[in-house]
Amino acid sequence: MGIGLFKAGQHFDLDGKRQKITRLLDKERIEFEDPQSSRRQELTRSEALDLYTSGNFVFRPIINVEPDKRARSRVMSNTLLASVPPLLRDLAKLRLHFVTKLAHFPTTRARLTPLVQALWEKLKPADLALMPECPHASSVARWMKQYRDAENNIVALLDQHALKGHRDRIPQKVLDLMEDCVRDGYLTPHRRNITSVLSDINGLIDDTNLMLTPSEQLSPISYEQLRKYISKLPAYEVYAARYGEQAADMKFRNTGKGASAALPLQRAEMDHCRLDLFVVDMETGLPLGRPWLTVIIDACTRMILGFSLSFDAPSSLTVMRALRHAVLPKTDLDDVTQPWPTWGIMRTLVVDNGVEFHGSSLDYAAGQFGITIQTCPRRQPWFKGRIERFFRTLQTDLISLIPGRTFSSIIERGDYDSSKHAAITLETLNRVINLWIADIYHQSTHSSIRQTPAQKWESLIDKVDRHLPDSAQWVDAAFGKPETRVAGHEGILKDSLYYNCAELGVMRQQLGERITVDIITNDEDVGYLYVVHPETGDYIKVPAIDEDYASGLTRWQHTKCKEYARYLSEKGEDRVSLRDAKLKIVEMIEEDMVVNRRKSRAAQSRARSMRKQNSSKPATTSARPTSSAKRKGGASARPAEQDAMHSPRNPSVARDDDLLDLTVTVAVPYTQEAAA
């Protein structure tokens, strides 16, 4: 998977037909042409983003068969990043530690030797186990060059053990034929596969043998010999010849130093926050708990790049959701009036030391798109103070206005029952946060930048080359979890589910009956997974065989279904399928919801009956007229207001649209007296 940008020379597919951007007419209009017919057309950037989101606009690499020789690298394919052992990945991270710390120092041996020694002596015991001896200054200088030539891609620091060991002894005449056929057939934009090129080579060998004596006959080569030959070629040149050269555009990306950022998308900060608010169930109105919010903020402009709202605790899943929202255009905002123009890949992402930021999923996604992950020091939240300040602003300016908020202290809370007054659903809260960010936060003057985030973004974004993944359809694959599985005639077995499709069968026919493949899974939906083609590196979307059961099911829900099916089997019932377990769980939830609704209606009916009885009693002369007068003058209207609030026309759980208007426009202070 590569990345693309709106710039002259960029190739893309529009409705499956190849096009090329010829020039940018202004900030909004793009001129492009059909390379075959030379017909030129125009498209606005907004229209292009809408087409990109729908999958009709796909970036394609710029064809350049002769890449810049100075930019050669030993970068392994992104396909292999998911398949290398964890030990080698950890070693690459350790090498990256040396590279980033010494990036601004001269690479001479005399200058690097003491610096490398000092860094090595400060390593933790776990890192010393990976690197028991101090690396030589020449090795560190080589790592720095590989990392720089690979456009800051960590996969350049991985060991290439595949190049070690026995080499096939192939005659020089055959090697010459292989070189010609690979250059003319494999290293071309047509991207012919190895099997096709192998047929050409063996055909030339047969033709050559006609002119040779019996003792000089050349043996045909095997598929494995050709595959090894291609694997020895510089991976950078192979990729550039088959998929295009974009290193020049990537080299001139603007980057900032330290904690500062001069332009948008140079530096972004990500963190989690548990909102001070109880959220209720949409069906029953019962409080479910406090949701988690994961946010990514742009350090330069203070624009919110993306967020994720859910009940899931901070994990790789919430991180991937927020990253996906940040990278892609925001087009599904029905309630928002102001544009939310943030999209594109950030250069540096600053995170804390949470476990969710140290998993393979984030490293894989960052490696795919060239994002540098920077970890802030432990117990120093001010290192990413912009995101911390945003959370405070969100809690005070928005969350505090919504019924069901929690408080930081018992004294501040008083008699207010947060769960009792909770009235907003998770779906509505998500809409409210979208609206508040786009229409209020982005449009409000920020004291640090002395203008609104939207104004600063608009004034600087044209100075930045914004990159997008090749296709919006494959972003899920980039932000998934990499694993390795075996594909057979049944398909691929993952977590008690089989996945199979026609494309997987075709791939097995080409490569073997049982093959080991890299897969990418998405914990948000177990109904499908992605298979990385071993030869081309393309992603193949493979659905679950039992799609009726798995489609739309999260990994957590699937795990609970398995546990319940196992429980029923242990009770002595007949073998229970996962689909049966899922249906029983749904039935139990629906029955519980019916009971809760009945209890809620009965409680409201009893409350209304008690209020009617109290209001129908004749007024008695009180021995304390002052108290009676106080009730008549000060609180006589309160029961009627409460009747209106709890009447069938005004249920205790407000409608979502009413809450959306309430929380964004004007807030009535929720005092203890009103809540009593």
- The model's pLDDT over 410-464, given as tens digits with 9 standing for 90+, comes to 334 444 444 454 567 888 888 889 989 999 999 998 888 889 999 999 999 988 8
Answer yes or no: are the C-beta atoms of 285 and 653 closer than 8 Å.
yes
Rounded CA gap, 522 and 365, in Å? 13
The 8-class DSSP code of residue 188 comes to S
The predicted structure's pLDDT at residue 501: 93
How confident is the model at residue 198, as a pLDDT?
92
Four-residue CA torsion sign, 438, 440, 443, 449: negative
pLDDT for position 298: 94
Q: Which two tokens stand for residue 4?
A: 């693309």
Q: For residue 352, what pLDDT is reported?
A: 78
Secondary structure in 3-state letters for 510-529: HHCCCEEEEEEECCCCCCEE
Q: What's CA 315's distance to the chain center, in Å?
A: 12
Query: pLDDT at position 656, please?
Result: 43
Q: How far apart are the first and last CA of the chain?
A: 58
Element (H, E) at 233: none
Antiparallel, parallel or unpaired: β 287-289 and 348-351: unpaired
User: Could you report the per-residue pLDDT of 81-106, keeping only the tens digit for each?
Assistant: 555 677 777 888 888 889 988 888 88
Quote the DSSP letter at residue 481.
E
For the chain, 676 residues long, the average pLDDT of each consecutive 10-residue run is 76 87 84 82 89 86 41 40 68 88 84 90 87 90 84 75 57 85 84 88 89 84 88 73 55 43 90 84 68 92 92 81 90 84 90 67 73 72 74 84 54 45 75 90 87 93 85 73 87 91 88 88 85 84 89 81 79 62 64 57 54 48 40 40 38 41 36 34
How many other CB atoms are there within 10 angstroms of residue 214's CB atom? Answer: 6
Is pTM beyond 0.75? Reply is no
Looking at residue 296, what is its pLDDT?
94
What does the pLDDT look like over 169-228, one tens digit per residue? 788 888 888 888 888 888 877 878 889 889 988 989 998 888 888 888 888 989 988 888
Contact residues for 384 (Cβ-Cβ < 8 A; gap 6+) = 269, 271, 350, 351, 352, 376
What letter does residue 215 receive in the DSSP assignment? G
Neighbours of 162 (CB within 10 A): 11
Q: What's the token pair of residue 418?
A: 């947060």
Amino acid, res. 575: R
Specify the fold of 3-62.
Answer: SH3 type barrels. (2.30.30)
Domain edges within the chain? 3-62, 85-157, 172-244, 267-472, 480-553
Token pair of 563 as six digits: 């546990």
Architecture of domain 267-472: 2-Layer Sandwich (3.30)
pLDDT of residue 77: 43
What is the model's pLDDT at position 63? Answer: 40
Handedness of CA 300, 304, 305, 311 (dihedral sign): positive
Structure tokens at 634: 């000060």
Retrieve residue 7's tokens.
């710039």
CB 371 within 8 A of CB 348: yes
What's the sign of the alpha-carbon dihedral 537, 540, 541, 544? negative
Rounded-to-integer distance, Cα 296 and Cα 271, Å: 7
Partners of residue 277 on adjacent β-strands? 405
